[in-house]
Structure formats: C-alpha cells, structure tokens
Structure 1
Amino acid sequence: MRRFFRWLLRVLPWLVFYICFGFVVFKFQRGVPYDDDCWSPNHEYFMVRKESLVSSWTWRHEDREGWVLIYDKYGNLVHRWDGALNTEGGPWWFGTEVHIFNKPQATLHLPTDAGMSDFHRLCY
C-alpha cells in the first residue's frame, strides 16, 4: 500500500500538468468569445466573434486579434474572417454583404439578403 502512495505522489503532478495543458490547447483551438452573438437586421444570419487565448491574455480590449464567423440561421458556416476585432471597424450588414473596415479590410458576400444596418448598431 505504501508503494502505491509513493507511485501516486510521483505521477499525480504530471497528471495534473497534462490535464491543464490539454485544457489550454483546447481553448487555444476554439478561441474565447469576444462578445455576444450578433444577428443581422432581418435575423437570417448571425456572427460570432472570437479571439485567440493569447490575445485575450496580452492585448488591450481595443487591439485584440481574432476571427469573425458568420452563420446562417440554421447554424451553417458561411464565412470566416481573421483580423482585428475593434468594433469601430464594423462589421456592418449591407444587404448581401458584410463590410469589415478593420485590418485587413474585407467585404464578405452572403448568399441572400441580410438587411441593412445603420452605423449606430452592429447587432439586432
């Protein structure tokens, strides 16, 4: 019995380390939610903004890096965009396009109309 406890004390720190390391790798791959889900004006599409785990630890809120995932209302991925997540650069819904004015700038084309947004609201 004493031999088992010695073995457990030798193995337990490594086991805890591997579990913590696995959690960090899992979160690094999935990303951290940047803010709430954002629906298009007519609720046909929604976007999820996520930032990398490293960015969430090291950057100020205005300068964070991550990605924007745009889904249709059924949960099918339509677009993925990688870049800065500053809300001053959008993204904005313009009919069949989503405009992002952050670095790098992008225009993402949608299969159907998403509605028109104003410059005061990003989400509906």
Structure 2
Amino acid sequence: MRTRFATLPKDILHEQANQGHTILEKIDAYSDVSFAVVLLTPDDEGCVKGGHPQPRVRQNVLLELGFFIGRLGREKVCALKRGDPEIPSDYLGVIWHSMNVGDWKSALCRELDAMGFEIDWKKAMQA
C-alpha cells in the first residue's frame, strides 16, 4: 500500500516548541514518523589525540542518527551528506547520499518511493 502525499508532511525539530524538554526528549516527542532524513554536515572539527583537526559531523547529529536508525530501522532513515566530514567507522558501510551533487533530491525521492510514499516527481524536483 502506498502512502500518498501531495506535499510530504514534515517535522523540523528546531521549528517545534521546546516546552522545557532536553533535545533527546524533544526528538522522542516528535519521533512518531514514517521516515527520517538526517543531514550530515561538516559543522564541527575533531581529531585523534595529537592529530590535526578535520571537519566532522556534530556529535549530537550522530546520536540522533543512531536514535532514528534504532527507532525506525536503517531502511527508513536517509542520511544526506554535505562536504566531506569525517564519518564514524561504524557507519562507513551504510550508504548515504551526497548533497554535493545535483541529484540529491532524486536520491531522496527514490528512497521515499521505495518505502511506499507516492512522490510527485515534478514538484519534488522544482522544490
């Protein structure tokens, strides 16, 4: 059975009220979703002791990625990677989609389509 949306509903966490929650409580409160998209962006720097700082994904984003993988399963989580941030070795075998190339929208839509969402490809590519 396919889920049809003219426009996919979305919960963007930083746009939701905090209500005194910690970030994990807020994620849990908004985690009743069918699919999650996590943005892996080089917003932080880190290195092994004595090494040179390298761009990396913020640690809280990795925790949130793991939360949604555990909650929904890997097949219902799409990671979009921008730039070349360091990715933890435990996650290196998992496929993500690059935001550096122009086809990230179609890659995301293919993932949603595979999960049973009906995609209006024309609208998606224009967004």
TM-score w.r.t. length of structure 2: 0.28
Q: Which has the higher strand share?
A: 1
TM-score w.r.t. length of structure 1: 0.28
Larger radius of gyration: 1
